[in-house]
Amino acid sequence: MIYVSLLVHENIDVIINQIDNLNKFYSNCIIIIHISKISKITTNNLNEKIKNLKIKNVIINNNQTDTSWGNVIAGHIANIEYIKNMKERGIIVFHASNDMLISNKVENYVSTTKSAYNLRLVLPGSYWWPAHMVLQDKIFTNFVNSFNSGAIFASQIEGSFYETDVLFEIITLINKHDLLDTNYHYTKEEIFFSTLAHCIGYQPNGLPYIFSEVHDFDRILWSKFTKIDNNKFLNPFIKNKLKKILNNKLFKKGDYKINIKTVLSLLNKDTDFLQKKEYLNDGNYIWQIYDKNHLYGVKRINRNICDPVRKFISNL
């Protein structure tokens, strides 16, 4: 069985839209929904909506955790524990509340591949800021160092998936060794699962199937960072200040965001478009984001039922 771990926190209509989207492209899956503890949505309200719509394959996890920024991993762990308590086996796929599928080939990819995530080596000096956080997190790094390589790997969480037994073992390690008991706030869901899978000798058979706008943002930003760093006339203080200004300016500009043209490029297997974006340079490490032959969804889609990209995908 394929289980989808879906974290939500706002807008019931968008949640239902996403459930419909998942069921449109997965003919047979069970969706485990975790509602953030800080959400205004109640389990009763969402359950009532699902019941009225006669949706049969959704389970709402009553174990609500705070999934505010830096705590997202807690929601996925709660869902993994729920599946473990069901005493079922299969594959767990991770999704966020702002991604959508665009191809029904996703189901065959997951069922035949069984595991897919990035092995993005985390190194000092990376432009990716969570790298600096995790390398300071001695609770986690000391535990990882107790294994042979001591290497830390990151992965996009959306569209990544693992066999259940592997994730059951990983969350046992996280809980037993109190790996979340840290003062460092960063995207642990993008580091813990992939790193600990590697620690216990597990290897991915593929890469995440969601195309994310985040990587376009990083690509544009980090190319500018490189130019700043290569400027011999600027001191470190000025360089850091320019980087912060660029980061804020690019975030507001939004040219990197998913649009209908992006969706069509994926659907039409636009080779030039896909090859150009397949790899990313962190500043000191080049890694493969996705397999251009296996992209079946996009992120981020606005959590607005009237969003034009959401409406376009819903009508596919």
> In which residue are the tokens 């340079």 written?
281
CA-CA distance, 166 to 67, in Å (whole number)?
23
Structural tokens at position 183: 């003062």
Phi, psi (deg, nearest 5) at residue 106: -60, -40
Residue type, 197: A
Cis previous bond, 300, omega within 30: yes
Q: How confident is the model at residue 148 (pLDDT cuts 50, 70, 90)?
A: confident
pLDDT of 150-186, one tens digit each?
899 999 999 999 999 999 999 999 999 999 999 999 9
Q: What is the DSSP letter of 188?
A: G
Q: What is the pLDDT of residues 237-261, one digit of tens each?
A: 999 999 999 999 888 887 789 999 9
**How far from chain centre, in Å, is Cα 292?**
17
For the entire predicted model, the pTM comes to 0.95
